[in-house]
Each structure stands twice: as structure tokens, then as C-alpha cells.
Chain A
């Protein structure tokens, strides 16, 4: 078997194991909270008899291990249980909001990743000179702003001063792609501002690190232009560290954007999770936690695999 295929299979298998471990941690975490689901439904004033009846009915008296495997079995068959607050099917609710989350994340990623790479390359090309300082200055400013400040600033600028967008980002099924994109434009701008600096700085640092290598001097002595040297000779050797940072930011775009969702009233997973945490809707919290963990692990597997494939020693063994 090709060593790359072997490594990829290993990574994926490890990822699955990790997800299993995370599911146990999530279950234990929820289990450790004072009170249980029956208590949460009936509230503080419930009689012991009513609680006992509900527990019997929901199978809460069974040992934790049995309930864990029941839950796990449900997850594997696509059944995440029912929400306590409104009795809806969690899987359906998540599915709809996950679509919105991914739409926002992908829109932000499509703009921010190429932009960060280009800015990083330019900053590395002019390291220590004014374009580098300008790019670093701007991106560091935008990352230093708290998200909600950036969001209100963008809202003020683009709905009041230049009224091109709406301050709320309502999307609903049946909207055309163009209308959807127009609706999410503001949150996308904010998210790009937030994730740009990290990726751009890593691109710059990784390339400058490679620029110390002897083969960069070889390329310079071949008479290549500085941009050719960076693009053809430095960048291919700097991919691994860049990818790992890009992926961390992509994961953030999926799981960490609740503040932006709230500011723009965007109906996605982050809001859904926070809503149900406040309502102590434990099955929903468990399910969303698992989805977020899966996204993190999945993206990091992709980063690992890209780093492996980018390494010529692994791609072309002796």
C-alpha cells in the first residue's frame, strides 16, 4: 500500500476514535450537571412522585453506561432525540441551522483564505518595509477589535453612512443565492476582519522562515523575480504550517461565531446552542456539542492530510 494512503487511513481512524472519546466526555459533562432532564422539564416545584414517573418514562433510572450507549446508538442512526422545550426533532432542527452556519462560514472562508494568503505573500515579499507594516497594522487592528464592536461599526458604516445592506441577516428557505449572499454580506465582512490577521501572519512567518534556506539563494541566483522566488520556491515548502492555521480559523468560523450571529439575528447553530443552554435543554446541548466536535476533528484531519501530501518525502518515498 502506498505510504500516503496508509497515513491517511490512520489519521481518519484516529479521528473516529477521538470523536468517540469526545462523545463520552460530552455525555459525562452533561451528566455531572446538578439535576437531570426530568428535573429540568418539571422545574424546582415538581413533586418527587412526578419526577419518579417521568424518569421511569424517559429511562433515566437506567445506569449511565446504558443511557450513553443508547444515546450513541441514536446518534449513529441519525436520531439525536427530541428537544425538551418544544418537543421538535433535534436532528431536523440542527440540519436546517447547520446549513445556515456552513453557508456563512464558507462565504467568509472563500474571501478570507485567499486574501490572507495573498496579503501574507506580499508582506513576506516586502518584509520590514512599508507594505508589510501597513498590512500587519491593518490586520492586527481588525483582530484586536471585539467582534461586536467591529459588527456595530460595519453596521453603522454600511447601513447608515452608505445604506447598501440591511442591518439584520434574515435567511429563509427558498431565497435565491444572490439574495442570501446580499443578506449575509455584513456578517461575512466582520468575520473576514476577525480571521484575516491570524492566517496572514502565519503565511508571512512560514514563508520568511523558508526564505532562510539555501535553495532560496539558488533561486535568487537564477535571476528569478522576488515574487517568483516566493511563489515557486518558498510557498510550496511553507504549506504545512499555513494549512494548520487556516483550518483552525475555518473551525472557528463554524463553531465560534455566536456573537456575530446574535448581532445580525442570523439563525444558525451558535444561537441555537446558546438559546438551549439558557433553557437547560440538555439533549440539544449534547447534540450540538457533538456536531461542533465532529467539525473540529474533521477539519484537523484535513489539515493533517494536506500536510502529509505536501511533503515530497512522503509523497515520493525513496
Chain B
């Protein structure tokens, strides 16, 4: 969901597609349709993407293999952040052990060198892993998924609430440049979605 739809303040209503002729076009948030068969769902994702829609999403109770590709989503950039976090952790570990032993408080222990990478390995490894893991999770949830977010424009829709249980919900959003209620409902109907409906503000 993009930011624009999240500024809605009132509750939403769900209207079956057949009864949606009279709704105010400006109030429409999205057109939704349910799927249960993952094959039909994947096909629908490909078709909606092929029809040129960008602002559409599919809510699923578990990750469906290949659905992101079918939707035409770009590959996630998360690994780049993870590598950055790992490098940061490693640099910290080296600096911490080197600086405390040679600059801040040099301590002669049996004539051994103040610093050597070999005794520093375990701490280097652990801090690399620690910072990489924390970076990965915080970037994934916070930056990439935009969570935490305590409100969602579709949250009152009964089908949408089942998307964390046993239903796949396809949502074509009104924010999309190509969106009209008619084209979206017709497309979802043609692709075999159940219970095609319009969510309005």
C-alpha cells in the first residue's frame, strides 16, 4: 500500500462488484478478489502485471513460490544491506580490539604483540554475525516492509482478514494510473477470482 491510501481517516465499506455501479469513483480504494488455487493465483498475477498494473498486491497466508516474479516485482535489495551490516560489525570488532590494546591502554603481556588478528578472530566473527543479523531484520521490517504500521485501508474487509488464515486476496488499487472500477472488476472476474468486490472509503 502506498502512503496516499493510508491518510484515509474513516472506516471502509466493502461492496460486491455487481452493486458497485453507483459508488463515487473518488472514494474507491481498491478492487479485491479471492483465490484459493495457487496455480490460478500465479496466472492471475502474471495477467494483471501484463495488463500494465503496477499498484496491485496479493495477500497470502504463506509465501507462494514464484508469486513475486509473476507480479513483476524487482528482486529484493536486502542482501546489500546485510553485507553492509556485516562489514560494519567486522570493522567495529577489529577497531575495538586493536584500539583498546595498542592505543588506549597498551598492555605488555609476556612480550606478545599488542595486537594480532589471530586472537581477535572469534570476536570479529561474532560481531560480524550479530550486526549482519540485526541489520537484516531491521531493514527488512522497517525499511522494506514499512512496518510497524498499525492501520491498513483494507483491514475491515472480511476476506482481507482471512488473508493471514487461508485465503489469497488480490487487490488492485485505485492509485494505479490504469485503474477504473470496471476494468479492474472485469479483469479479476475473467481471471477466476471469487467474490470480486470494491472497497470504498
Task: Check if A and B associate.
Answer: no
Which residues of A approach B to under 8 Å, CB–CB?
none
Which B residues form the contact surface with A (CB < 8 A)? none
